[in-house]
């Protein structure tokens, strides 16, 4: 039987919206994780399978293009599928449609399978049951390196909260996007929304740590490097392309 794409409907609720009545970025990331988790379980690669074998899927990259933001009470349909398999990782892609069937968001993500105790990548074919990818891409990306900040223009600090931690006992992927977007100047943020986002996850962050975000803005683009306050290790790097609301 040919593999099928996962499909779920969501209603945008008031507590999932920002001040403009648009879906929050952190909620969008959580929706991606929700459908990815359920689809992985359906094809036998999910949380229960991994925990029994001391494995875990760890996010490495995201690339997101937003043509329009879902609004309050809007019904959206999210589609996801495993798109590419490599020796040590896999790509999972996403599409978001509005009520009229318009494609409003495209995203691609890269995940690495690790030995949880050793925190080291393991080969997919040696550790997973047989499954099929669907060789279609929402975004034709190979997740190129995000450039370094050349001049730090601002520095923002955050304390990692208990609620930032996920079931793998480290900061949830969605939180890094929240931190970076919060590091943008408030006046600029009031008038702009991200239309394209690139994320590279580097190291895990843990409860009790503090982090700081170094940022550089260049017109409609911004770069952000998230680092641990304790030892300056880089945790994540993000790039935004902004457009006026």
pLDDT of residue 168: 86
Q: Does 84 share its domain with 172?
A: no
Q: Does 122 share its domain with 15?
A: yes
The predicted model gives 132-149 an average pLDDT of: 96
- Residue 229 domain-assigned (yes or no): yes
The predicted model gives 94-121 an average pLDDT of: 96
- Residue 205 domain-assigned (yes or no): yes
- Residue 143 domain-assigned (yes or no): no
Domains in the chain, number: 2
DSSP-H helix ranges across the chain:
25-42, 47-52, 124-127, 173-182, 186-191
- Residue 140 domain-assigned (yes or no): no
- Residue 139 domain-assigned (yes or no): no
Q: What share of the chain is helix, strand, coil (3-state, %, to 5)?
A: 20, 40, 40
pTM: 0.96
**What residues make up the domain containing 32?**
6-127
pLDDT of residue 2: 64
Cα of first residue to Cα of last residue in the chain, in angstroms, is 45
- Residue 194 domain-assigned (yes or no): yes
Q: Kindly report the average pLDDT of the chain as a whole number.
A: 95
Residues contacting residue 48 through CB under 8 Å, at least 6 positions apart: 41
pLDDT per residue as tens digits for the range 11-23:
999 999 999 999 9
Cβ atoms of 32 and 94 within 8 Å: the answer is yes
pLDDT per residue as tens digits for the range 194-243:
999 999 999 999 999 999 999 999 889 999 999 999 999 999 999 999 99
Residue 3: which pLDDT band, with cuts at 50, 70 and 90? confident
Q: Does 113 share its domain with 16?
A: yes
pLDDT over 80 at 41, yes or no? yes
Cβ atoms of 124 and 87 within 8 Å: the answer is yes
Looking at residue 105, which CATH number applies to its domain?
3.10.129.10
- Residue 239 domain-assigned (yes or no): yes
pLDDT over 70 at 1, yes or no? no
Q: Does 117 share its domain with 159?
A: no
Residues contacting residue 87 through CB under 8 Å, at least 6 positions apart: 123, 124, 125
Cβ atoms of 178 and 25 within 8 Å: the answer is yes
In angstroms, the CA 104 to CA 157 distance is: 33
Q: Does 93 share its domain with 173?
A: no
Query: What DSSP state is assigned to residue 52?
Result: H
- Residue 52 domain-assigned (yes or no): yes
**Token pair belonging to 145:** 């390196």
Residue pointed to by tokens 């550089």: 216
CA distances from 14 to 19, 22, 67, 118 (A): 10, 9, 21, 41
Question: Could you give the 3-state DSSP secondary structure of residue 99?
Answer: coil
Q: Does 12 share its domain with 123?
A: yes
pLDDT of residue 25: 96
Cβ atoms of 241 and 194 within 8 Å: the answer is yes
DSSP codes joined into one string, 221-245: EEEEEEEETTT--EEEEEEEEEEE-
Domain-terminating residue out of 64, 92, 127: 127
Per cent of the chain over pLDDT 70 is 99
pLDDT of residue 90: 96
Domain-terminating residue out of 72, 92, 127: 127
pLDDT of residue 219: 85
DSSP codes joined into one string, 107-130: EEEEEEEEETTTTEE--HHHHS--
């Amino acid at each position: 039987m040919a593999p099928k794409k996962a499909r779920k409907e969501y209603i945008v609720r008031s507590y999932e919206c920002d001040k403009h009545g648009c879906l929050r970025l952190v909620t969008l990331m959580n929706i991606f994780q929700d459908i990815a988790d359920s689809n992985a379980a359906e094809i036998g690669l999910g949380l229960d399978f991994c925990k029994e074998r001391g494995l875990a899927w760890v996010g490495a990259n995201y690339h997101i293009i937003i043509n329009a933001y879902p609004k309050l009470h809007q019904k959206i349909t999210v589609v996801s599928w495993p798109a590419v398999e490599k020796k040590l990782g896999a790509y999972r892609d996403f599409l978001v449609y509005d009520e009229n069937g318009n494609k409003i968001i495209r995203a691609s993500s890269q995940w690495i399978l690790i030995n949880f105790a050793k925190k080291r990548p393991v080969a997919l074919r040696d550790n997973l049951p047989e499954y099929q990818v669907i060789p279609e891409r929402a975004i034709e990306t190979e997740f190129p390196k995000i450039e370094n900040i050349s001049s730090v223009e601002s520095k923002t600090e955050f304390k990692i909260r208990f609620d930032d931690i996920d079931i793998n006992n480290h900061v949830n992927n969605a939180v890094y996007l929240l931190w970076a977007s919060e590091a943008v100047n408030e006046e600029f943020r009031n008038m702009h929304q991200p239309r394209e986002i690139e994320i590279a996850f580097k190291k895990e962050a843990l409860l009790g740590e503090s982090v700081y975000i170094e940022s550089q803005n260049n017109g409609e683009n911004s770069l952000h490097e998230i680092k641990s306050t304790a030892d300056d290790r880089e945790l994540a790097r993000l790039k935004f392309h902004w457009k006026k609301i």
